[in-house]
């Protein structure tokens, strides 16, 4: 797919980076020597800032990719013979080429289906209950992981996170949150970050920044300090401890400063809402899921998506999903003019099908 001269709604990872983050990197690059491998003041400041934002003590480990964040986090929450419960469409199950299996030494991802990209609570409870029932013949329930915001552009609401945490606790297993789009979720729910994480029972959070304005930076946030020591060794062993860690932490510092992360996410969410409202005004267009974050899944009449693409808009279409919907993702830097142009193009091409 060409990316030149097109408006690209393929993903929030087709974007560049926020100017504030580039500025922070430029500053960090010129500030002389700093001890490597995380023993630098940027990393200290990021952890302190996260403690403030999450209103609790925690340990934070910067890494560069969401796959690393998730796979490393899960590897300290499950034994090799453990079961990790996740939605079938979750990134760890569908898009990471087996990274969690690799990092955990072969744990099993057990999928829990549910509408709107979210695990169904009843199915989750039953599935955990059944897994491990055969004793040593079965992998053993170890951890539930939920994606916030989900791959369907929806969010787990406060009560849903609480109910999932209650299920996990009742079964005596851990709770992890894949927050590659955590900013979008918080901007959507409007709650304190603490409310939807540790206060609800989340022990580890993959706190994403890359999709929301950073170059390549995520933080694994550990609310359960018992898990921190092992994480440090696994990160190094996975090749995810940066020598010049200041350059990961400088990104995160700028991302957290002055609520940039929430401002960026709010911008992206607003773009998705604007796009959704415009498209829903078109007779014959529907949406697969409610729009609660920065992704939407319109269903167009046949032929429309190709016509819109021909107008210069890039996005994953029906062929990519082998299904009758397309996906549009807005980002921290999406322009209203581009959204409006998309709506105009869609309006025109849908009208032409009648």
Instruction: Show contacts with its own copies in window 191-220 (CB under 8 A).
Output: 210-211, 215-216
- Our finding on whether 24 is near its own copies (CB under 8 A) is no
- Our finding on whether 336 is near its own copies (CB under 8 A) is no
- Our finding on whether 181 is near its own copies (CB under 8 A) is no
Contact 242, 37 (CB under 8 A): yes
**C-beta atoms surrounding 183 within 10 Å:** 31
- Comparison of 25 and 265: residue with beta carbon closer to its own copies: 25
**Residue 32 Cβ, how far from its own copies at the closest point, in Å?**
7
Identify residues 139-168 at the interface with its own copies (CB under 8 A): 139-140
**Residue 300 Cβ, how far from its own copies at the closest point, in Å?**
22
Q: What residues contact 218, with CB distance under 8 A and at least 6 apart? A: 62, 63, 64, 65, 66, 68, 69, 180, 206, 207, 208, 209, 210
Question: Which three-class secondary structure string do you get for 11-23?
Answer: CCCCCCCCHHHHH
* CA distances (Å), origin 56, targets 195, 198, 224: 11, 9, 11
- Comparison of 39 and 310: residue with beta carbon closer to its own copies: 39
Please identify, among the stretches 114-122, 138-146, 272-280, 302-310, the one whose residues bind its own copies according to the rule CB under 8 A.
138-146
Query: Residue from 88, 158, 194, 238 that binds its own copies (CB under 8 A)?
Result: 238
Identify residues 66-95 at the interface with its own copies (CB under 8 A): 66-69, 71-72, 79-81, 94-95
Please identify, among the stretches 25-33, 114-122, 184-192, 279-287, the one whose residues bind its own copies according to the rule CB under 8 A.
25-33
Please identify, among the stretches 101-109, 161-169, 271-279, 290-298, the one whose residues bind its own copies according to the rule CB under 8 A.
101-109
Element (H, E) at 218: strand 218-222
Please identify, among the stretches 113-121, 149-157, 235-243, 275-283, the one whose residues bind its own copies according to the rule CB under 8 A.
235-243
Query: Residue from 159, 190, 226, 239 that binds its own copies (CB under 8 A)?
Result: 239
265 phi/psi in degrees, rounded to 5: -65, -40
- Comparison of 189 and 220: residue with beta carbon closer to its own copies: 220
**C-beta atoms surrounding 291 within 10 Å:** 25
| Closest by Cα among 212, 207, 210 to 260 | 212
Query: Residue from 88, 106, 301, 312 that binds its own copies (CB under 8 A)?
Result: 106
Query: Residue from 87, 176, 199, 240 that binds its own copies (CB under 8 A)?
Result: 240
- Our finding on whether 237 is near its own copies (CB under 8 A) is yes
- Our finding on whether 244 is near its own copies (CB under 8 A) is yes
Element (H, E) at 27: helix 19-29
- Our finding on whether 99 is near its own copies (CB under 8 A) is yes
- Our finding on whether 172 is near its own copies (CB under 8 A) is no
Query: Residue from 262, 299, 314, 341 that binds its own copies (CB under 8 A)?
Result: 314
Distance CA 282, CA 110 (A): 40
Identify residues 39-68 at the interface with its own copies (CB under 8 A): 39-40, 63-68
Contact 119, 147 (CB under 8 A): no
**C-beta atoms surrounding 64 within 10 Å:** 18
- Our finding on whether 36 is near its own copies (CB under 8 A) is yes
- Comparison of 273 and 334: residue with beta carbon closer to its own copies: 334
By CB under 8 A, the count of residues binding its own copies is 86
- Please identify which residue in the block is written with the tokens 């490597």: 36
Measure the CA dihedral 121/123/128/130, to 10°.
150
Phi and psi based region of residue 322 (left: phi greater than 0; alpha: psi -120 to 50; beta: remaining): left
Could you tell me where the DSSP H helices lie in 30-115? 41-54, 66-75, 91-94, 99-104
């Amino acid at each position: 797919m060409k990316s030149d001269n097109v408006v690209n709604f393929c993903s929030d990872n087709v974007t560049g980076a926020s100017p504030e983050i580039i500025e922070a990197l430029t500053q960090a690059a010129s500030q002389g020597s700093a001890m490597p491998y995380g023993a630098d003041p940027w990393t200290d400041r990021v952890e302190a800032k996260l403690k403030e934002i999450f209103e609790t003590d925690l340990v934070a480990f910067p890494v560069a990719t969401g796959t690393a964040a998730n796979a490393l986090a899960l590897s300290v929450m499950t034994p090799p013979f453990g079961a990790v419960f996740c939605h079938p469409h979750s990134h760890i199950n569908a898009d990471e080429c087996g990274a969690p299996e690799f990092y955990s030494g072969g744990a099993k991802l057990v999928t829990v289906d549910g509408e709107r990209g979210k695990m169904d609570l009843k199915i989750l409870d039953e599935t955990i209950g059944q897994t491990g029932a055969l004793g040593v013949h079965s992998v053993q329930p170890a951890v539930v992981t939920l994606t916030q915001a989900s791959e369907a552009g929806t969010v787990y609401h406060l009560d849903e996170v609480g109910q999932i945490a209650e299920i996990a606790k009742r079964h005596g297993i851990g709770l992890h949150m894949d927050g590659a789009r955590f900013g979008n979720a918080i901007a959507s729910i409007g709650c304190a970050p603490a409310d939807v994480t540790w206060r609800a029972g989340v022990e580890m959070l993959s706190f994403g920044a890359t999709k929301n304005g950073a170059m390549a930076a995520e933080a694994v946030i550990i609310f359960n300090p018992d898990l921190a020591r092992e994480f440090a060794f696994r990160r190094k062993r996975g090749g995810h401890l940066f020598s010049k860690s200041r350059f990961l932490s400088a990104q995160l510092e700028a991302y957290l400063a002055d609520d940039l992360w929430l401002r960026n996410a709010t911008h992206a969410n607003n773009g998705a809402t604007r796009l959704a409202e415009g498209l829903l005004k078109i007779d014959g267009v529907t949406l697969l899921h409610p729009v609660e974050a920065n992704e939407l899944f319109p269903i167009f009449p046949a032929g429309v998506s190709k016509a819109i693409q021909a107008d210069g808009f890039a996005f994953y279409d029906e062929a990519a999903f082998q299904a009758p919907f397309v996906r549009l993702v807005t980002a921290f830097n999406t322009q209203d003019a581009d959204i409006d142009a998309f709506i105009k193009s869609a309006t025109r091409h849908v009208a032409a099908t009648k």
